[in-house]
Amino acid sequence: MSEIKTIDARNTFCPGPLMELITYMKQASVGDTLELLSTDDGSATDVPMWVKKCGHEMIGSEKKGEVWHLTVRKAK
Amino acid sequence: MPRKIHIVCVSGTREKLQMAAMFASVAAACGDEVTVFFSMNALPYFVKGHKGEAPAEGEFGALVTQKGVPPFKQLFQQAVELGDAKLLPCSMAIDLLKLKKDDLDPEMGPPTGLTGFLTESEGGQLLTF
């Protein structure tokens, strides 16, 4: 299993966290798992919608304190 | 079939350019075919070397200068890099400003006239800022 890469987009505003995730997703290989850290509540709805639209896989979505941990697997 | 989103930027104020850039970057990154047409007061920000400092317009324009908000020029650039958006400078505005294509940022596409843009945007969604 490949290692999880964490993208720290805390304290950036929409669409900063989503664009950060997409930048890293483009560079990642199929099967890689990425964890996005975001303090923007909008990310919790925007990121899963983008993941679904682009055919990737949402692994987890959890808010720990003020920070959303959104875990995504690159599927194609 | 990807959606076709056409954005017209004519205002030179920060809050309008910011909103247009947000639409462009998110739509392009989601796989939509995005074309942005820049004219009037919006074009000078895309002359090489311009830092993208625009007058706020309203309270929100001031708020978006805070740390953590991606600047509009960066978002338009990401729209091109991540989603193949086309950024088209208005040929009339280029002529009036006495510019050449090479004077503009490298992300900017070919100078485009209204006839060309209207033909290209037929049948798609059009957003104006």
Question: For residue range B27-51, what is the model confidence (pLDDT) as tens digits?
Answer: 999 899 999 999 999 999 999 999 9
Give the Cα separation of B21 and B29 in Å (integer): 12
Write down the residue that tokens 């280029």 correspond to.
Answer: B94
**What integer pLDDT is reported at residue B67 of this predicted model?**
85
Number of Cβ atoms within 10 Å of the Cβ of B91: 17
**Looking at the complex, does the CB of residue B2 fall below 8 Å from at least one CB of chain A?**
no
Contact flag A19-B67 (C-beta cutoff 8 Å): no
pLDDT tens readout for residues A34-62: 999 999 999 999 999 999 999 999 999 99
Number of Cβ atoms within 10 Å of the Cβ of A41: 12
Please give the single-letter amino acid code of residue A29.
Answer: S
Helix (H), strand (E) at residue A17: helix A16-27
Q: Has A54 been annotated as catalytic?
A: no
**What integer pLDDT is reported at residue B114 of this predicted model?**
96
**Mean pLDDT throughout B75-95?**
96
Q: How far is A2 from chain B (nearest CA, A)?
A: 24
**Looking at the complex, does the CB of residue B25 fall below 8 Å from at least one CB of chain A?**
yes
What proportion of chain A, given as a percentage, has pLDDT over 90?
92
Number of Cβ atoms within 10 Å of the Cβ of A39: 17
Query: Pairing relation of β-strands B86-89 and B33-38?
Result: parallel
- Residue in chain A nearest B77 by alpha carbon: A19
Non-local (6+) Cβ contacts of A49 within 8 A are: none
Name B127's bridge partners. B7
Domains of chain B: 4-128 (3.40.1260.10)
As a whole number, the mean pLDDT across chain A is 94
- Residue in chain B nearest A52 by alpha carbon: B30
pLDDT confidence band for B88 (50 / 70 / 90): very high
Give the Cα separation of B20 and B41 in Å (integer): 14
What proportion of chain A, given as a percentage, has pLDDT over 70?
97
pLDDT at A1 over 70: no
